[in-house]
Each structure stands twice: as structure tokens, then as C-alpha cells.
Amino acid sequence: MKRGSKLGFAVVLVATLGALAAGCVASQGGGAAGSAAQKVYVKPGEKDAYYAFLSGGHHGNIYVYGMPSCRHITTIPVFTPEPAVGYGNDEESKAMLGGFTWGDAHHPGLSETDGDYDGRWLFINDMPNARIARIDLKDFKTKQIFGPIPNISAAHACPFPTPNTEYVFAASRFSVPVPNRDVKVEDYAKDFRGIVAGVKVDPKTGTMSLGFEIMMPPFDWDLSDAGKGPSLGWQFFTCYNSEMAYDSLEIKASQNEMDYFAAVDWRAAQKAVDEGKATMINGAPVLDPAKVKGIAYLIPVPKSPHGVDVDPSGQYVCCSGKLQAEVSVYSFAKIKAAIDAAKFEGEKMGVPTLKFEDCLEAKVPVGLGPLHTQFDNKGNGYTSLFLDSQIAKWKVGPPWNVEDKIDVYYSIGHLMASEGDTRHPTGDYVVALDKLSKDRYLNVGPTHPEAAQLIDLRGPKMELLYDFPTYLEPHYAQMIKAEKLHPITVYPLAENDKPGVIKRAEDARVERKGNRVDVYGLVVRTHFTPDVIKVNEGDEVYFHWTNLEQDDDIAHGFGILWSSKNMQIEPGETKTIHWTADKTGIRPFYCSNFCSALHQEMQGYLEVRPRGTPQAAVQRPDAKTIAEINALLAAR
Ligand code: RUQ
Ligand code: CUA
């Protein structure tokens, strides 16, 4: 007994020390001591030091993870309906999706102030349909989907916000005729064009609107990053296929020694549009660089580049040539000097080309298949190597040498460093976003999960801490300090002025005009008011449910049997859903989100009578029900 309790004490002590060490790492990202297990351990009840936002790829949404625990916290529906919460089902989100039920989301972009993540919004692109979504980080909800942006054929280089979130960008991955029209694919080089678009972001509301478009040569515009510090005001875009091939790209688009990256002066472009120098094409103001000078330049990059990444100081632009074993680092000062001296080599469809030697600062021999680079707070860059399945750590600045390499499993695409796209990366972690997971997880059949790996950057050598699977298919991701976000936990009822809102049982009613029926209702533990609703077959019914709860985590659902209609209504929120009364008979509805001990009792009936059955213009709950609901509300 005595021995047992001593042993017990020792176990508790060890566990406590371990937890303390882990807690310290998690909350401060400070010491790098301890085992890998301790470094990712976040004690039950404690929270992670970072939020990580991983794009959902062709799942069309965003996954939210906590770092360093690598716990999946939630998924934010963005471009794809999410029936569980009713995203794409309620009227507002349905309208926002604009008829699309799919998106391919690649690059999350956190809003920035002075070049640091400010925790206000998160932008993400839908590549194929050239759309950009804005998620409000106050409630983690998609608030706007902008696009399809006219004339853009697949926005891959998108959105990559500027340091004060003045703009997000989109550039054509494929080229098409602009305006799109009846042409032959064989006339690609003559008739096709790429487009770079600057999308303005309202500094107060985050609302996006089109600022300008620039007609570019029909290359495949690939990735982008914003200038900062000395390069503030410029946006960079890589391209491949400067060969202008329209078929067998894997061969024909790899012929040239050099492709390009474009440097776009977005202030000059906006000024030109404001001065009326654009031509309207499909409702977009398009600038032609052959006529409007000083808005875009091309700089040669070896071998089909992919990522372009600006270092935290804003002095260097780092391009990864996929088919080359080097990162080409350009000096922005040199680029600017060449532009100012008009030292051009030639031009491509009106866009002046600079000389490679005039702009290059260094070549870093990172290894095979470099794709993307991230940075830490100690002057290092980290480049993902797709072919080598490694990350290379290298010195940003002389002697530009590779300092360390770590194996990843397998075939890394993007990588995400903590606050990695800002002027002040924290240097704590990098997450490898691997394209293949092969044998790393329990086999679930031919579709393997995607693989992500947390790597510690705090020691002299990179250290692999943890593997975690993700669902299809994170491309890029961003990681922000948790302390920067302060999401609300309920929608303040007092501020709810949504159409259809009611706040008192006395206002609950069913209104009929012709065959349109509007239900103004309340949900609260554990009752729908009204819970018996009389309609006729053929009625178009709009349910406006307001959740009167003001307690954390008390959401109610509204699901109608034998239908696809379901949604979730969060505390203080009003949502509207449309349902056609398709069949005479009794149709139950219920709360689909577990909310209380009497959740199972939270239900109601739709009485659907034959067409033409006389119905009151207004149905109201009786006085007794109103009194009961009021008593319920008062007791809360
Ligand atoms: S991409 S693996 Cu869609 Cu950003 Cu580089
Ligand atoms: Cu309300 Cu379950």
C-alpha cells in the first residue's frame, strides 16, 4: 500500500512535469527541450498556441487545427454545401454559393496590418471558378464569395493579401480568349490571354470589389506573393508555359530555359483605371500594358517556376524552379533599379522584360523539386522539395548556404511556418503539407488520407514532432498566434436585425400571401414556437427561425423529414430556409442538433392539406402557449 502510493506519487510528478513542459511549449513556443511527445502534448482543458487554417482543396472548405497538438477543431464550409449546419441550404448561404456546389480551395490568406496577421479575416480562392471568399474570424463564417471574376480562367495565383489588406489578387492559371469567343485552340498564341486582377478590400468591412485587370501574355500564371517593406506596392506572380503550348504541356511547356515572374505595380494599375485608361471587358476594367506603361514587368526565372515568396524583410523575392535544384533569389532593389533605368531586354505583348543577371541576387542549391519557401525569425528560409521529399533550411543572405535538411513522408507540396508570411515569423514550427501519405496510416482503401507533419524549428536542427492525417486536400495553409483571435461565442440578440427576426413569443406567427407562407418562429430549449404549422400542398414556405439562446454552444437544428432541408441556428442567430410543401399529409420536423436533456422532445408537425384548403391569413400560437414560452424564457 505504502509502496503503491509512493509509486503513484512518482507517476503523478513525472506526468505533471511533462505537462508543465508541454504547457510551456504550447503557450509560449519558448524552450525546445523535451521529447517530441511532450512538445505536441496539450493537456486536456488547455488550448493550443496557434490556429492553423488548412485549405480543403477540392473539398472546397477550410479546416481549422490547433498547433502544436495538431487537433482538428472545426471545418469552415466555404465553397461547398455542408448539410450538417445547413450551409448552402439556408437562403443566405445558398445565394452566396451562387448555384455552385463545388470549389477547389488552394490558398488561405489571412488579412494583415503593417505586414502582420491581424486576425480579422481569412480569404481563400476557388481556383476553377475564379472566386475569392472572405471568412470573418469573429465567428468563423463565410461572409462573402466574390466572383466568378470576369475574364479569369482559374484563379490559382490567389488571393495572397497585401500587407495592409488593400488588395487580394487573382491570376489566370489557364489562358482563354479575352473576351471569350469563337476561336480555334490552334490560335492560342494569337488569341488567348492571361489576366492578373487586383481585387480591392474595403478596410472597414472587408467587402471585396474589382479594382483592375491587366491583360497578360497567355502563360500559365501560377503563384503569387505580396511585396512588403521596400517592395511594398508590388505583387509578384510566377508563370510556366512561356512556350505558349496548348497541348502536351508536360513536354512542350518545359522547353524554355527561362520562364518568368511578373512584378505588378498595383498602385500604378489602380491609378490608370481611375484615370480612365482601361477598356471594359465583361464588366471588368482591363488595362493593356502595350498602351498603359509602368504597371507590369517580367523577370526571367529558370525552369518552370512554381512558388514565389518574399522574405520577411521584403528585400528578396525567392522563386522555385520546379525542374531545377535551386531557389533563385532576386533582389528587389536590383529589380527596381533596372525598372527605373528602363534597362529592358525586350517585351512580351507590351510587358517589358528585364535581364536575369540584372535582378538575380543568389542561387541557393536546395535540392530537387523546390516548390515553396517559408521563413523564420532567425534569417532562415525553408524550401519544400517535392522530388527529394525533404525540407531544406537555408541562410537568407550571404553565404546563401543550406544549413539543414529533414525528410518528410512523402512528396511535400506547400509548407506552412508559424506566422510565416508576415514581416515577423515566429520561428516555432513549420508544417509539411505532403501530397502522398502512402503507408503512414491505417489503410482505408485506395484513397489515402493527405499527410501533414509538424516540425519544430526552435533547435539548431529541424525536428519532426508529429504526423496527422487530413481530409482532401490541403494545398496551402497559414498559422496565426491564437492570442490574436477573439471569436464571439454567441450572436448578441440585441444586435440581431436580420430579416425575419422575432424576439418575443407574441410575435411568433405564420403569414400567408397567396401560396407564399412565412413562418416567423423561435427556437429555445426545448421548443419550436410555433410547433404546429398548417399549410397547403404547393405552398412555398419560408421558415425564419430565431434562436433566443444566449448561452455558449447552444445551437438548435431544424430538419424536415423526407427532405434535404436542414440547418443549424446558433445562439442569437436568425436563419431562413425555403421548403416547398410537396405532398399532402403530416410532415414532422425536429431539432437536429443535440441541445439539452429534452432535445429529443424538440419537434413539431407540418400539417399539409390539399391545395385550396381555406387557411387563415395569419396563424398565431394561442395565449397559453405564449405564456408557457414566456415563462420558459424568464426562467433561463
Ligand atoms: S499549389 S504545391 Cu495549388 Cu499552391 Cu503549390
Ligand atoms: Cu434544440 Cu436539439
The DSSP bridge pattern shows strands 284-287 and 380-385 to be unpaired
Question: Distance (Å, rounded) from C-alpha 491 to C-alpha 470?
Answer: 30
pLDDT digits 0-9 by tens, 100-112: 999 999 999 999 9
- Whether the bond into 312 is cis, omega within 30 of 0: no
Q: Angle at CA 285, nearest 5°, toward 279 and 289? A: 65
C-alpha of residue 475 to centroid of ligand 1, in Å: 6
Q: Give the residue from 260, 374, 257, 375 showing the smallest Cα distance to 324.
A: 257
476 pocket-lining for ligand 1 (C-beta < 6 Å): yes
pLDDT digits 0-9 by tens, 577-630: 999 999 999 999 999 999 999 999 999 999 999 999 999 999 999 999 899 888
pLDDT digits 0-9 by tens, 305-331: 999 999 999 999 999 999 999 999 999
Beta bridge partners of 348: 351
pLDDT band for 9, please (50, 70, 90 cuts).
Answer: very low
Could you count the other beta carbons within 10 Å of the beta carbon of residue 154?
Answer: 22
> What pLDDT is attached to residue 94?
98
C-alpha of residue 107 to centroid of ligand 1, in Å: 8
Question: Distance (Å, rounded) from C-alpha 250 to C-alpha 133?
Answer: 31
List the chain domain ranges: 498-633
- Class of 498-633 in CATH: mainly beta
599 pocket-lining for ligand 2 (C-beta < 6 Å): yes
556 pocket-lining for ligand 2 (C-beta < 6 Å): yes
From residue 175, alpha-carbon distances to 80, 263, 320, 469 in Å are 25, 19, 22, 34
Closest CA to ligand 1's atom 1: 475
pLDDT digits 0-9 by tens, 45-83: 999 999 999 999 999 999 999 999 999 999 999 999 999
C-alpha of residue 84 to centroid of ligand 2, in Å: 13
474 pocket-lining for ligand 1 (C-beta < 6 Å): no
Kindly state the cell numbers that stand for 34.
523535451
From residue 492, alpha-carbon distances to 63, 139, 487, 508, 520 in Å are 26, 12, 13, 20, 19
602 pocket-lining for ligand 2 (C-beta < 6 Å): yes
C-alpha of residue 608 to centroid of ligand 2, in Å: 23
- Ligand that lies nearest to the alpha carbon of residue 369, given by its number in the listed order: 1
pLDDT band for 32, please (50, 70, 90 cuts).
Answer: low
C-alpha of residue 600 to centroid of ligand 1, in Å: 46
527 pocket-lining for ligand 2 (C-beta < 6 Å): no
C-alpha of residue 371 to centroid of ligand 1, in Å: 8
Question: Distance (Å, rounded) from C-alpha 612 to C-alpha 387?
Answer: 69
- Concatenating the DSSP letter of every residue in 61-108 gives EEEEEEETTTEEEEEEESSS-BTTTTBTTBHHHHHHHTT-----B---
Instruction: Provide the percentage of residues in the chain whose pLDDT is more than 90.
Output: 92
pTM: 0.94
Residue 471 burial class via C-beta count within 10 angstroms: exposed 0-12, middle 13-18, buried 19 and up: middle
Closest CA to ligand 2's atom 1: 556
- Whether the bond into 571 is cis, omega within 30 of 0: no
Question: Distance (Å, rounded) from C-alpha 142 to C-alpha 103?
Answer: 14
- CA of residue 139 relative to chain centroid, distance: 14
Q: pLDDT at residue 289 above 80?
A: yes
Q: Are the beta carbons of 384 and 415 closer than 8 angstroms?
A: yes
pLDDT digits 0-9 by tens, 140-168: 999 999 999 999 999 999 999 999 999 99
535 pocket-lining for ligand 2 (C-beta < 6 Å): no
> What pLDDT is attached to residue 635?
78
> What pLDDT is attached to residue 629?
87
Atom of ligand 1 nearest to the CA of 223: 4
571 pocket-lining for ligand 1 (C-beta < 6 Å): no
pLDDT band for 633, please (50, 70, 90 cuts).
Answer: confident
Atom of ligand 1 nearest to the CA of 156: 3
